[in-house]
Structure 1
Amino acid sequence: MQRRQWLGAALALASGMAAAQAWPGKPVRLVVPFAVGGTTDIIARTVAPALSKALGQSVVVENKAGSGGVVGATETARAVPDGYALGIATVSTTASNPAINPKVSYDPVSDFTPIVNIAATPNVIAVHPGFPARDYKGFVAELKKNPGKYAYATSGTGGIAHLQTELWKDLAGVSITHVPYRGGGPALNDVVAGQVAIIFDNLPSAMPFIKEGRLVPIVLAAPQRLAQMPEVPTFKEIGLEPVNRMAYYGIVGPKGLPAEVVKKVHAATLQALVEPAVRQRIEDTGSLVIGNKPQEFAAQIKAELQVYKDVVQRQKLALE
C-alpha cells in the first residue's frame, strides 16, 4: 500500500515537472484588475504581444474590474497554479486595499507568486489653477492656514492615491478632506472643473491636463525630478521621503506556481522589456521600466503592505 502511494506521488511529481517544462502549451490569460484604458491596462497591453512572441503562445489580456482591483486580484489568487492564469499586481491590489479592507479574501504576501515588476509610475499631487498657490511651500502654507477648508479627490477609498495622500497628510501635518470617486477619470474631471481643489493621481492620467495648464503639479513621488516638469520637486526633496513611493505594475501568479513557469515568464518579460517599442510605450506614459527579480518583487510587495497598514493604523482609516 505504501509502495503504491509512493509511486503515485512520484508519478504526480514527474507529471507536474513535465507539464512545467512543456509550458506553455496553450494561450495564457493575463488578468488586469482594472478597467480598459487605465495605466494598469496600458502596461499589460503593451507587454502582452512581446510576451506572446517570447513564449510562443498568445498572452490574452482580460479586464476583471471591481472593488478597487480586488475582484481581478481574487481571481488570480484562486486560479489553478499551472501558469495559464496570471495577473497584474499593483499597489492598490497588493498593499493599500488589503491594508484598509478587512473583506479582501486573499493574503497579498502568501497567496501570490511574484514574478517580475514590469514598471513603476510616478504619482503627483496637483491642484486646480484657481488654487491660491502654485508651489509646494505656498501649497502647504495655504492648507495650514485653513485647516479643513480644502478637499482632495482620488479614484476611490483604499487605493494608492487615498492612502498615499493620508501618509503625506500625517507627515506634513495638514488637514484636508478625502473625496473618493468611482475611478480616476471622474476624479480628474471634477478637479479640472474646479469642484474639488486637489488631486493625488498617477502621472500618466494627470499629465495631459498638466500639459494643457488645466492642472498645476505641486509635488511628485518619483526618484528624481522629471524632464517634463523640472520645476516640480519630489517628496524626497521636500524632506518627506516615506511618501516618495511610486505605483508598481508587475506580473504574479497564484501561490504554488512551478519554479520553471516563473523562470520562463520572468525571462520572457525581460526579453519584452528590451524591445525599443515596448520601452518607449511604457516611458511615454511617464512610467519607468523596472524588470526586477521575483524575490525583489516579493520584498517590494511585503514592504508596501506594511507601509499602508501603518498608515491605516495611525490615521484611524476605515472604508467609507
Structure 2
Amino acid sequence: MPGALKKIHQSSRRALLLGAATVLAAGTLPAYGSEVSKLYVGFAAGGATDTLARLIAPALSSELGQSFIVENLPGASGMLAAKAVERSAPQQPSYVLYPTMTMLGKVLAGQNPDLDKITPISLLYEQFTLVVINPQVPGLENVRSLQDLLQVAKAKPGMTYGPMGVGSTGHLTMEWLNSLAGVKMQAVPYKGGSPAMADLLGGHIGVLIADSTVVAPHLKSDKVRAIAVNYPQRMPALPDVPTIQEQGFKEVAGVPWVVLAGPAGMSEAQTATMAKALARVLAKPELVQAMRAQNVEPRSSSPKDAARLMQADLALWSRIIKEKNISN
C-alpha cells in the first residue's frame, strides 16, 4: 500500500475508534440509529471499492455520531453483500456499496435485479471507463483515437478486445460502439481487471476497455495508450484524452456508479438523514482529493435521484444486453 494511502487508512481507523469511544463515554445511544452499523463491500479487501469504503466510513461516523464498520463479503459481482443488506432490519439497517455490476449481474443471469429489496440512499461516486491500447501490438502502432481504432477494426473483421467481464459496463459500451460504427470487434471477456490488464501489458490483447481504477496505475507504461474516456467530461488525470462523445458518439451514455443502499422499508426520515450526511461528507475537500486520487468522481444525490438513476440505467443496459444476446 502506498505511504500516503496507508496514512489515510491509519487516520481513518483512529477517527473511527475515537468516534466509537466518544459514543460509549457519553453513555447514550447515538441519535440516528443502532450504535454500530455495518457497511458491506462485495469485493475483497484492498480493492478500489474497499479502499473507498474505508475512506467514507469514518467521515460518515463523525457526521452521524455512530460507528460504521466496513465488512467484506466478496463474490458474485457484489451480490453476496447486497443479500446481507436485504436481510437487514430497516429499523437498525446495514448498508452496502452497491455498484452497477451488481445490478447487471442478475440481469445477465436471467434474474430479477430485486431493486425493490433495497433502499437507494445516495449516489457515492462515478467511475471513468477508459479505452486503451497497446501500441506495440502489430497494427495498432498509429492508433491515437477512437476513430483510428474503429478504422483498424473495419479493416480487420473479428479483431478482439478485452472487457473486464461479461456484461461489465465496458463490455456493453464497446458492443454499443460496435453497432454505431458498423464494426465487429470480438469480445474476449476476463474475470476481472487485473488479468485483463496483465494480458494487455503482455501483448496478448491489443485493446482493453476497463475502469480507470484498473488502468490508471499503468498509464505511464509505453505499452498502454489511452484513446478515449467514457464520461460526460474528460478525466482530470488525462486532460488530453477526449471522451467517447467528443469523438463522434454522442448517443453513448451511462457510466458505472456506486450507490449507498440499505434494506427495503427504511423510512424517508432515515434515508434523508443518511443522504444529507453523505452530501456533507462528499463535499469535504480532503475526501474529494483522496477519492480522486483513486480515479473516481465523488457524487452525492437525494434518495429519489439515486433510485431514478438505478432504474434508468437498468433499462439502458438491459436493452443492450437483450439486443446483443449477452449472458453469463
TM category, shorter = 0.7 to 0.9
* Equivalence map 1:122-133=2 (5 Å): 122-131=128-137, 132=140, 133=143
Report how many aligned residue pairs link the two structures. Answer: 296
Aligned-partner SS, 1:241 = coil
Can you list the C-alpha shifts for 1:28-59, whole angstroms capped at 9, x where unaligned? 11111122233322221111110111121111
Q: Deviations over 1:96-129 (max 9, x none)?
A: 323322246x412x22111110111111111112
Distance 1:74 1:152, change over 3 A: farther
What secondary structure is seen at the aligned counterpart in 1 of 2:247?
Answer: coil
Shift of 1:21: 9.4
Contact 2:228 2:244 in 1 (8 A): yes
Q: Distance in 2 between matches of 1:190 and 1:52?
A: 41
Partner amino acid for 1:37?
G
Question: What letter matches 2:135 in structure 1?
Answer: P
What secondary structure is seen at the aligned counterpart in 1 of 2:219?
Answer: helix
Of 31, 36, 39, 2:40 maps to 31
How far does the alpha carbon of each residue in 1:152-180 deviate from its partner, in whole angstroms, 9 at most, with x for none?
22332232222222222222222122222
Shift in CA distance, 165/155, structure 1 to aligned 2, threshold 3 Å: same
- Which residue number corresponds to residue 144 of structure 1? 154
Candidates 207, 210, 217, aligned match of 2:216: 207
Write the deviation string for residues 119-159 of structure 1: whole angstroms up to 9, x where unpaired: 111111111122412222211100111010x2222332232
Residues 61 and 68 of structure 2 are in contact (CA less than 8 Å); yes or no, is this contact kept in structure 1?
A: yes
Identical-pair percentage: 27
Task: Please give the secondary structure, in 2, of the residue aligned with 1:88.
Answer: strand
Show the counterpart of 1:236. Answer: 245
Q: Which amino acid letter does the alignment assign opposite residue 107 of structure 1? A: D
Residues 261-303 of structure 1: per-residue CA shift (max 9 Å, x gap): 2122112211211222211111112222211111111110001
* C-alpha contact 2:167 2:326 (8 A) present in aligned 1: no
Unaligned runs of 5+ in 1: 1-19
Does structure 1 residue 317 correspond to structure 2 residue 323? Answer: no
**Does 1:195 pair with 2:204?**
yes
- Residues 171-190 of structure 1 correspond to what in structure 2 (within 5 A)? 171-190=180-199
Give yes or no for contact 1:68–1:156 (8 Å, CA) kept in 2. no
Cα deviations by residue, 1:223-271 (Å, 9 ceiling, x for unpaired): 2223432332211112323434322112011111122221221122112
Q: Is contact 2:128–2:235 with CA below 8 Å preserved after alignment?
A: no
How does the TM-score come out when normalised to structure 2?
A: 0.84
Q: Show the counterpart of 2:114.
A: 107
Which residue, 244, 253, 262 being the options, matches 2:262? Answer: 253
> What secondary structure sits across from 1:304 in the alignment?
helix
Distance 1:172 1:37, change over 3 A: farther
Aligned to 2:57: 48
Amino acid of the structure 2 residue aligned with 1:162: H
Describe the shift of the 1:140–1:165 C-alpha distance in structure 2 as closer, same or farther (beyond 3 A).
same
> Which residue of structure 2 aligns with residue 157 of structure 1?
166
Relative to structure 1, the CA distance from residue 42 to residue 243 in structure 2 (aligned partners, 3 Å threshold; closer, same or farther) is farther
Unaligned runs of 5+ in 2: 1-28
Moved over 4 A (4+): none
Please tell me the residue identity of whatever aligns with 1:118: L
Which residue identity is paired with 2:118? F
1:134 to 144, 147, 151: 144
Partner of 1:77: 86
